[in-house]
Amino acid sequence: GQSLEQPSEVTAVEGAIVQINCTYQTSGFYGLSWYQQHDGGAPTFLSYNALDGLEETGRFSSFLSRSDSYGYLLLQELQMKDSASYFCAEPTGGGNKLTFGTGTQLKVEL
Amino acid sequence: EAGVVQSPRYKIIEKKQPVAFWCNPISGHNTLYWYRQNLGQGPELLIRYENEEAVDDSQLPKDRFSAERLKGVDSTLKIQPAELGDSAVYLCASRRRAGTVTYEQYFGPGTRLTVT
């Protein structure tokens, strides 16, 4: 089966860097996506890693290590608006659907 | 381009009552998903449509849940009768086409259902 584990909560100060980890246990692994969801809002796509290494998109970067069954989302220069829940997700069911992780609530403080 | 539209945004009903949620995906998106998200958890897939065909409904509690996507565009998810445990946010998502690995889906804002 598939399962993706994340820390439930992370707190950091404005301007800092924070890393949100995701570990997975699955067969037929395609890659790892990351989504952001503000309270009461829709999940929005941030990034996808199909290959090992780092993908950078502005202040956000995502990393994957297939050998370690591990990935992370790195947020730099944290802003108050980054306070949200972050989910890792992987394509499953032959790549036709997404299975989401447990989610990490990020709180950015002054 | 307009995003995924869902209505209503909020719904409060008593247990044993029926309820329906509506979703209009992004124009041109053939694949439509319904998810349920419990408080503090990630979305969990209920059903996936490719055009008008439900191709994956293995997680849909068929004794009380039903869905349809007539004409392969709008979709409706229904619960009858609702139970207390159905309180959750019901999310609709879509993507352009099948045949490729899905890693990016476009989500609507969801319907927050409270069953009392």
The 10s digit of each residue's pLDDT in B25-71 is 999 999 999 999 999 999 999 999 999 999 999 999 999 999 999 88
Interface test with A, best of B104, B113, B114 (most A CBs within 10 A): B104
A11-60 per-position pLDDT tens digit: 999 999 999 999 998 777 899 999 999 999 999 999 999 999 999 989 99
How far apart, in whole angstroms, are the C-alpha atoms of residue B52 and residue A45?
25
For residue B48, list chain A residues with Cβ-Cβ distance below 8 A.
96-97
pLDDT grade, residue A2 (50/70/90)? low
Select the more confidently predicted residue: B101 or B109: B109
In this structure, what DSSP letter does residue B93 have?
A: E
pLDDT grade, residue B101 (50/70/90)? confident
Do A78 and A71 contact (CB within 8 A), yes or no?
no
For residue A91, list chain B residues with Cβ-Cβ distance below 8 A.
101-103
Q: Do B56 and A93 touch (CB under 8 A)?
A: yes
Q: Do A48 and B40 touch (CB under 8 A)?
A: no
Instruction: Look up residue B91 and give its two tokens.
Output: 């999310």
For residue B47, list chain A residues with Cβ-Cβ distance below 8 A.
none
C-alpha dihedral sign at A75, A82, B107, A70: positive
pLDDT of residue B39: 94
What number of other Cβ atoms are within 10 A of residue A92's Cβ?
19
pLDDT grade, residue B105 (50/70/90)? very high
Instruction: Look up residue A51 and give its two tokens.
Output: 């290959």
The whole-chain average pLDDT of chain A stands at 94
Interface test with B, best of A4, A46, A96 (most B CBs within 10 A): A96
